[in-house]
Amino acid sequence: MHVIHLYSVTQVFILSLNLSHGLYWFLFPCSLVICNDIAAYICGRWFGRTRLISLSPNKTLEGYIGACFITLLFGRWTQHQIPDHMQYHGVILALYASLVAPFGGFLASALKRAKGIKDFDQQFIPGHGGMSDRMDCQLLIGFFTLVYLHSVVI
Q: What is the pLDDT of residue 130?
A: 52
DSSP structure class, residue 118: S
Q: What is the pLDDT of residue 8?
A: 75
| Band of residue 70 on the pLDDT scale cut at 50, 70, 90 | very high
Q: What is the pLDDT of residue 122?
A: 55
Which of 1, 9, 12 shows the shortest CA–CA distance to 138? Answer: 12
* Residue type for position 68: C
Q: What is the pLDDT of residue 47?
A: 94
pTM of the predicted structure, to 2 decimals:
0.83
Which of 7, 17, 5, 1 shows the shortest CA–CA distance to 145? Answer: 17
Alpha helix segments (H runs only) across the chain: 2-5, 11-19, 24-47, 61-77, 84-99, 103-115, 131-148
DSSP structure class, residue 50: S
Rounded Cα–Cα distance for residues 55 and 119 (Å): 13
Q: What is the pLDDT of residue 139?
A: 79
pLDDT in tens, 89-143: 888 999 999 998 788 777 777 777 777 776 655 555 555 555 565 677 787 899 9
pLDDT in tens, 19-34: 999 998 999 999 998 8
Task: Tell me the C-alpha to C-alpha distance, in Å, between residue 40 and each of 52, 70, 102, 109.
Answer: 11, 9, 9, 16
Beta carbons of 69 and 36 less than 8 angstroms apart = no
Beta carbons of 97 and 138 less than 8 angstroms apart = no
